[in-house]
Amino acid sequence: MDAQSHFVTANGIRMHLRRAGRGPTLLLLHGWPEFCRTWRRVIPRLADSFDLVAPDFRGFGDTEKPDPGPTDAVTADLLAQDMRALLDALGLDRPVGFVGHDVGAYVMQAFVRAWPERAAGLFFFNCPYPGIGRRWAEPDHLKEIWYQSFHQMPFAADLVGSSREACRLYFGHFLRHWSGDPHAFDEDFEAWIDNFMKPSNLQGGFNWYLGARRSRLAVIRGEVPALPPIETPTRVLWGERDPIIKVEWMDRLPDHFTNLEASVAPKAGHFVQMEQPELAAVEIKRFFGRVLAE
């Protein structure tokens, strides 16, 4: 990754991030099973135009794990608070652009609802949002979301981390199955296993699913309170072949984002930024070139 490693204290934790480039700031927010390395292919393509900040969320990567064991405290709201504190710690008081997907997409939505004045624009890959609703748990989709329940088991991290080979088998499934190109992570795979074999990193990631349990069930049950649509300029680029966050679920995006541009990334899966970094970078640059100039 063509970016420098930094540690910053924000919201009471020691947070790790990678930073590169010059210009308007973009905050790059990863998902699961990821950490800041997931941006390594787009950072060199954007660094000539933007100041790129790619943090590890609490519990992930090299950011501090204040709760090394299971906890349900890690919610989208808490991670959004972390991101606001990070921006403050870096002295970034002007609105910034947000880029993310998966866990990062939840955090971006929580952030912009709490502090809309701090976000200049939102760029999502494969965006989980309330409009998906009960489709998360349709009978044909249950085979895809099993891991979300497994991660809530108290023995999950010990089982997956029982050996390097067990960890390789587990993460290999997601990185291949969720990608439009099953070889997208081949050159990064051992770095992924190195990351998740670090102390508390497995549980740190699994804690997201403990923290998200209540809101996840509310979405599936159709019990999410109606919220006003997000008015911040929004771009969604959705991987056509994502089996976990399906492309047909784009249909209700206009009900939740009023200033929206959305399109499909052909042949891409869940990890558009890793699978098609050139397309991802071109679209990020085009969108924020307009939004940050307004």
Distance CA 207, CA 222 (A): 24
* Domain residue limits at 69: 4-291
Q: Residue 251 burial by CB count (10 A; 0-12/13-18/19+): exposed, middle or buried?
A: exposed
- The full DSSP string for 61-125 is TTS--S--S--S---HHHHHHHHHHHHHHTT--S-EEEEEETHHHHHHHHHHHH-GGGEEEEEEE
Looking at the annotation, which residues are catalytic? 102, 209, 270
Alpha helices by DSSP H, listed for the chain, are: 43-46, 76-89, 103-114, 142-150, 156-160, 164-177, 189-196, 201-211, 213-221, 253-256, 272-275, 277-291
Distance CA 83, CA 79 (A): 6
Q: Which of 164, 226, 220, 159 is nearest to 191 (CA)?
A: 164
In this prediction the pTM is 0.97
CATH number assigned to the domain comprising residue 50: 3.40.50.1820
Structural contact between residues 187 and 41, judged by C-beta atoms closer than 8 angstroms: no
Cβ neighbours for 126, distance < 8 A, ≥ 6 positions apart:
101, 102, 105, 238, 239, 242, 245, 270, 272
pLDDT, tens digit only, all 294 positions of the chain: 578 999 999 999 999 999 999 999 999 999 999 999 999 999 999 999 999 999 999 999 999 999 989 999 999 999 999 999 999 999 999 999 999 999 999 999 999 999 999 999 999 999 999 999 999 999 999 999 999 999 999 999 999 999 999 999 999 999 999 999 999 999 999 999 999 999 999 999 999 999 999 988 988 888 888 889 999 999 999 999 999 999 999 999 999 999 999 999 999 999 999 999 999 999 999 999 999 877
**Quick one: pLDDT at residue 1?**
54
Number of domains in the chain: 1
**Quick one: pLDDT at residue 6?**
97
CA atoms within 13 A on the CB side of 175: 21
Distance CA 224, CA 288 (A): 31
